[in-house]
Amino acid sequence: MFIQLAWRNIWRNRRRTLITVASVLFAVLFSTLMESLQKGAWGYMIGNVVNFFTGYVQVHRNGYQEEQSLDLAFLPGEAADAGKVQEGVKDVLPRLESFALASTGANTMGVMVTGIKPDAEHGMTKIRDRLEAGRFIEDSDRQVLIAAGIAEHLQLRPGDTLLLISQGYHGVNAAAKYPVKGIIRYPSPDLNRLLVFLPLKEAQWFYGAEGMVTSLVYRLESETSLPAVVGRLRKALPEEDFEVLDWRQMLPDLLEAQKLDSVGNIIVYIILYMIIAFGLLGTILMMIRERQYEFGLLIALGMKRWKLGAVVWLEVIFLGMLGALAGILSAMPVVAYLRRYPLRFSGGYSELLEQFGFEPIFPALFSFDIFFAQAMIVLGITAVLAFFPFWKISRLRPVEAMHSG
């Protein structure tokens, strides 16, 4: 009976009800879009970095993550064997990585030379699919695969020669000329300006580190198996010799940037929720003012105050629920569209994002958790504000209310 009364009461003044529902609708719609775009953009960027290069788990010699020194290269036998028998691990990718000076003619730039097993690398990072020009390298090649940013800076095309100069394992000289076999393009601007790939055996020869690697990248069956795989690897490998790192430990700056961005959004969310709160409070005040005579008469006729308060409380809850539901139903098709057709920025804002290593693409994340969270927050605000009529009705004096009404 209370529910039926409350539902009828909110439609006695349709204009007030529709205005209140609309204010909640737009606040929920905007906050949901912000949350979906933020999480979608960060998920896309982290996915680019993790899936296209770092992987979810890596094993190094102790101290390599801090020093990035080729002198901490190791023979992969024990660590590779330990990874292959782990449940949840699809493959183990050996890499030999170190920095070098790349040059052609009068142009030079610093690059990271990475020795890989081409087929295994493609199995995890789909690197062959990123080929923009030329051909993909093979295990027996003495040629390089370079990222598009390097090709543009050094004005290289497939078939041109690239000179690499570096310091090899334990200080040996490392210098060689390699034909450019292919050019690949990454979504991440940072990766595009950094990576040069050699077949693993050729990279080991170039750096004087025969049979050695600087890291083992573990290809997982699913991201959900990450904690279990990391835990088992740490137990299987000697702690004094190896470090087992997940992507969060390898990319701490990226996580800090994500947290900072999230804090900024919290301020906007607070403003939006304040708009919702004041909109609902205004509705409650108008409702109480317009119906003082009604409230006073009902109390004078013997209706218990708590019953009257319960009906008004339900009215406010219905307004919040209608607004939240309408906001979610409005946000779903918009978020689905932005997931399929992401926002793509150009011009000065695009250049600013690329300076920080972000690709100027913002896809939305379609997650029912986001919609549900926004609905719960709005309903929580509504439920708290809905107790205000209880307080007013408990202090209401019937005779005065009927005269003022």
- Burial of residue 347, with CB atoms counted within 10 A of its CB: 0-12 exposed, 13-18 middle, 19 or more buried: exposed
Please name the residues in contact with 320: beta carbons below 8 A apart, sequence gap of 6 or more.
Answer: 24, 280, 378, 379, 381, 382, 383, 386
The Cα 186–Cα 195 span in angstroms is 10
C-alpha distances in angstroms, 21 versus 112, 230, 288?
A: 56, 48, 18
pLDDT value at position 112? 93
Q: Based on the number of CB atoms within 10 Å of its own CB, is 159 exposed (0-12), middle (13-18) or buried (19 or more)? A: exposed
Please compute Rg for the chain using Cα positions. 31
Q: What is the pLDDT of residue 164?
A: 95
Predicted confidence at residue 85, as pLDDT, reads 61
Total residues found in the chain within this entry: 405
Residue 157 confidence (pLDDT): 93
Q: How far is CA 181 from CA 144, 163, 178, in A?
A: 6, 14, 9
pLDDT of residue 96: 94
What is the pLDDT, as a whole number, of residue 248?
A: 84
What pLDDT is recorded for position 17? 81
What does the pLDDT read at residue 3? 76
Residue type, 59: V
What's the pLDDT at 198? Answer: 95
Residue 38 and residue 262 in contact, taking contact as beta carbons nearer than 8 Å: yes
pLDDT beneath 50: ranges in the chain = none
pLDDT at 350: 63
Q: Using CA of residue 396, residue 397, residue 401, residue 402, what is the dihedral sign?
A: positive
Sign of CA dihedral 87, 88, 90, 94: negative
Q: pTM for this structure?
A: 0.68
